[in-house]
A and B are shown apart, each in its own frame.
Chain A
Amino acid sequence: MNQPLIIEMRTIAQKLLAARTVGTIIGWEKGSRWYLTPPAFIHNEDQVERLYFDRFAVNNLAKYLLDYRDSDKKVAVFVKGCDSRGIIRLIQDNQLKKENIIVIGIPCAGMYDRAKAEDPENPHDLPLLNKCLECRYPNPVYADHLVGEVSVSSEPGRPTGIYSGFATAQSVGSTADRRFEAADTLNSLPSGQKALLWQTHAERCLRCYACRNICPACNCAGCIFDSDRKQWTTKAALQSANSFFLVTRAMHAAERCVECGECERVCPAGIPLMSLNRLVTKEINRTCGAYDAGIELESSLPLSHFNLAVKAGS
């Protein structure tokens, strides 16, 4: 059912490559399993047939743009709503120049949750990922080109484009107002229980840094966890050091987190990282006023600027 969209994607990729406007196009291709649609990097016109899109194309492609930061040719990237917020974040952090990238917005009808698949033969009955049910920006917030009749929108809203009816039927964004609930429930536990819970999570953490590497908010050239000389913590994956990493990651992604949920998806230990991010986002909304990261290029960050009208907490 994605066929018209895929054809449109391939056409625009073909056009951009033929005109020598871009050197690379970052999109998705069909993987080796029915539930895999990994990223694809297209360099030649004869490879555009690899481009594919379905409801397993969950990867946020924004971070890959950093690999082409020093490239002398432009890079084009396909974005869903959440990915486009990541791109805004990277431009705001001066990691990318707007002129060096071409952003192609595509309509998103939510991504399927493979973990909930019971019948591999019938993948169309799959439920959506939680992050898609909680999605507030299903449309690209920033794009140079658009495919699939999607429209750019920097307001929270309903999905647009050729699959908008399907997306609404799949209840994309239906629980957006309740997205802080899970974190709130956790937070209401007594501190002893919370400590125990996070201790077990920290014990499972491998410090593989997958969450950091995928995150469009974590874009420092030199991460404090990469160098022993900075001596913030040991490289050994001990429970205390892992806890330190979990808190630090959430702190550093504060005001930057675009709630794409990629950290939690890539975590091999299944640590609920998004609950930390949600708590931070909620706290920023409470203390600094309503703020969504990665929506407007010119917006100022709530923690990096101060507003005299906002009262101090204590």
Chain B
Amino acid sequence: MESHVQNSSGWTPLIIGLVCEHSPSSIVSWHESNDPGYPDFRCLRVPCAGRINPQYILRAFQKGADAVLVAGCPSGKCHYPSGNYYVRHRLQLITELLQFMGMEKERIQVKWTDSIEGEGLRETVRRIAREVEKMGPNKLFKEEL
């Protein structure tokens, strides 16, 4: 992983993306960026949003993520006709549950690509990074060892 230019406090938010590889936003290439202000965004491409186990989100926070972006296809546009139908309630549930445990809601962003396509994935990631930078690093669920 290339090193990233850090902001004044010496910390760059780490954003983990769980992105359906069929959604248009995943085509955007984020790793060839020359933009020094771009956050540390690491993307896990999954064959379908339906593949996302809610535990993945928790796992990302365990391993030090400051925010998690989940992107899947909007209703009725799933490549495997119904994957996103199965996952939408589960994602909502884990989001609510994590908020109940004290996680800020800005740290878990579930986006159906309709809402990303407007500004593009790169800009979405930047916006999330700006929000997260205000809150500081995430400590919840982060492994001590």
Residue pair A247, B98 in contact (C-beta under 8 Å): yes
Minimum CB–CB distance for A222 against chain B, Å: 15
Residue pair A191, B103 in contact (C-beta under 8 Å): yes
Q: Which residues 40-95 of B have a CB within 8 angstroms of A? A: 54-55, 58-59, 62, 75, 82, 85-86, 88-90, 92-94
Known contacts: A194-B102, A247-B101. The answer to whether A233 contacts B92 by CB under 8 A is no
Cβ–Cβ < 8 Å partners of B101 in chain A: 194-195, 198, 243, 246-247
Interface assignment of B140: CB less than 8 Å from any CB of chain A: yes
Number of A-B contacts (CB under 8 A): 104
Most chain B Cβ neighbours within 10 Å, of A241, A247, A284: A247
Residue pair A314, B141 in contact (C-beta under 8 Å): no
Cβ–Cβ < 8 Å partners of B133 in chain A: none
Cβ–Cβ < 8 Å partners of B100 in chain A: 183, 186-187, 194, 276, 279
Minimum CB–CB distance for B134 against chain A, Å: 13
Interface assignment of B104: CB less than 8 Å from any CB of chain A: yes
Interface assignment of A240: CB less than 8 Å from any CB of chain B: yes
Residue pair A248, B89 in contact (C-beta under 8 Å): no
Cβ–Cβ < 8 Å partners of A239 in chain B: 144
Residue pair B102, A244 in contact (C-beta under 8 Å): no
Residue pair A308, B92 in contact (C-beta under 8 Å): no
Interface of B is mostly: helix
Minimum CB–CB distance for B108 against chain A, Å: 11
Interface assignment of B6: CB less than 8 Å from any CB of chain A: no
Interface assignment of A19: CB less than 8 Å from any CB of chain B: no
Q: Which residue from A197, A198, A244, A312 sits with its C-beta under 8 Å from B62?
A: A244
Cβ–Cβ < 8 Å partners of B90 in chain A: 303
Q: Which residue from A195, A248, A251 sits with its C-beta under 8 Å from B93?
A: A251
Q: What 10 A-B pairs are tightest by C-beta distance, nearest first?
A: A195-B102, A306-B85, A194-B102, A313-B92, A312-B88, A198-B101, A283-B96, A191-B102, A279-B100, A238-B144
A-contacting residues of B (Cβ < 8 Å)?
A: 54-55, 58-59, 62, 75, 82, 85-86, 88-90, 92-94, 96-105, 110-112, 140-145
10 contacts between A and B (CB under 8 A): A194-B101, A241-B143, A246-B101, A251-B93, A283-B92, A287-B92, A303-B86, A303-B90, A306-B86, A312-B75
